[in-house]
Structure 1
């Protein structure tokens, strides 16, 4: 079983390393438009194609959304208490602990482990986490929040459109579905390479903070997985929906948390270390979960 897990995750890790190499040695991934292309075109196309191709029921999508919100709320509560025990300010440390990297890592991992149906569930979960990035993340780190920021997210708009299509039982014509499928196929590799490129650009200056960053990095995937297991136990999810939610909740610290910390002058070095440390810890956590439960 662990060999199957390793075989599934190997392409994911290799593409991340490719992005890391390209980020260090070339300028291929430097264009900021590439990230915007994935966020505003690739991810919405992936979301709409995945949801419509597996003919997810609107009730199932609402269940997944509700379960994801509950997991985030539980992680937020436990993370807040943990930070208070460590005498750390929640302003900059809470968002990285609450919001995992469900986008450019979680979706490819879900596809590798669970196939197209698992990926459809993952993109719904990722859209909710993206909302959390632009509400809890921006709100905490900046001290202010403007709802208009959500209107700029293509994934969120597509989630609403997909919900309308599902509720009205609308099916897109085959040529349109084929177009969405072609865009979706290029999205996952670009997301992974951009993750590798982002890691290659991280800068760390204050190395005396390594111990605290390591502790927070260990906390993120473990508390995420435990919170998801708790919600799955009490919530009426299918085995596949529950498994995907647990795996995505165990994802590492998101790169967007580093970007927000840079924008709002937070502890950039520590969050960079948290991203680096939490990535292998997250993959190890997924391996243990896969071996024990999934």
Structure 2
């Protein structure tokens, strides 16, 4: 009973904020998704990422191991889902990236914060940064059918990640006045991302529910199993293992749908994956969290 209450305390604030965004749109109120997303991804989240790394609350060695482990999990997921696409005769350009990349930002960061505290958030930022860099390079290359993956270097979040990693590695201290200011700006990121997640889910019209439901279950099982197995193989334990597993167990990212729209992939099935996997995560993620809290 105590475990159930603990998990409930962790996931309730996360899904409550998403529910606010969902309800807001359903009531017919305006929500400028483009502005809020730009504010979050250009300013708030880069500040959040930089502060989490530069503050030095996480161990640089553990962060390095977690980075390599995350890359290894993604390599395994790319292989696994590429084979699944081949067996199920799914269009790689449409399905591969959404099946691989989870919602490590909007959903993963808040879950890590509430489940593991500031330390967990710091490690979650590492996984999120790896995810974002891969999604804006390899992910865009897959969805668009080509292009220059180096465009990710122009993203503020990627630059903030690299700069924060340098501060963490060198042990440099950020002046308190600057750190406090950046931290305050960064605190906007999590609530903005969660409310926007709810708004996005409310506006997406899913397609082929039965088909995407099976893929959503498959994604959850494969990603969780690979993250846990590879994390253990790398010697991760405690918070780092929990963060890696929970982050990569998150549902299909809303950004996968946006990229499908932008680059002309088959967007409706991706929209279905986002909605169905997100709804399923309400029941699935608490089960995953129960193993680590």
TM over 0.5: yes
Aligned equivalent of 2:260: 261
Residue pair 1:54, 1:117 contacting (<8 A) in 2 also: no
Q: How many Å apart are 1:103 and its aligned residue?
A: 0.7
Residue pair 1:23, 1:30 contacting (<8 A) in 2 also: no
Aligned equivalent of 2:161: 159
Deviation per CA, 1:116-136: give whole Å up to 9, x if none.
110111111111111121122
Residue pair 1:101, 1:251 contacting (<8 A) in 2 also: yes
User: 1:26 aligned to 2:29?
Assistant: yes
Residue pair 2:102, 2:249 contacting (<8 A) in 1 also: yes
Q: How many Å apart are 1:268 and its aligned residue?
A: 1.9
Aligned equivalent of 1:199: 201
**Judging changes above 3 Å, is the alpha-carbon distance between structure 1 residues 266 and 147 closer, same or farther for their aligned structure 2 residues?**
closer
Residue pair 2:56, 2:171 contacting (<8 A) in 1 also: no
Deviation per CA, 1:25-67: give whole Å up to 9, x if none.
211x315222111112111111121223343333222212111
Residue pair 1:47, 1:159 contacting (<8 A) in 2 also: yes
Q: Secondary structure of 1:203's match?
A: coil
Residue pair 1:221, 1:281 contacting (<8 A) in 2 also: no
Q: TM-score, normalised by structure 1?
A: 0.93
Deviation per CA, 1:59-109: give whole Å up to 9, x if none.
222212111111111111111111111111211100001000001111011
Q: 1:83 aligns with which of 70, 82, 85?
A: 85
Q: How many Å apart are 1:230 and its aligned residue?
A: 1.1
In the alignment, the residues of structure 2 paired with residue 257 and residue 147 of structure 1 have an alpha-carbon distance, to the nearest angstrom, of 16
Compute the RMSD of aligned alpha carbons.
1.6
Q: Secondary structure of 2:269's match?
A: helix
**Judging changes above 3 Å, is the alpha-carbon distance between structure 1 residues 280 and 201 closer, same or farther for their aligned structure 2 residues?**
closer
Q: TM-score, normalised by structure 2?
A: 0.94
**Ranges in structure 1 where 5+ consecutive residues have no aligned partner:** none
Aligned residues: 290
In the alignment, the residues of structure 2 paired with residue 99 and residue 267 of structure 1 have an alpha-carbon distance, to the nearest angstrom, of 17
Residue pair 1:222, 1:285 contacting (<8 A) in 2 also: no
In the alignment, the residues of structure 2 paired with residue 112 and residue 184 of structure 1 have an alpha-carbon distance, to the nearest angstrom, of 16
In the alignment, the residues of structure 2 paired with residue 36 and residue 126 of structure 1 have an alpha-carbon distance, to the nearest angstrom, of 18
In the alignment, the residues of structure 1 paired with residue 172 and residue 291 of structure 2 have an alpha-carbon distance, to the nearest angstrom, of 40
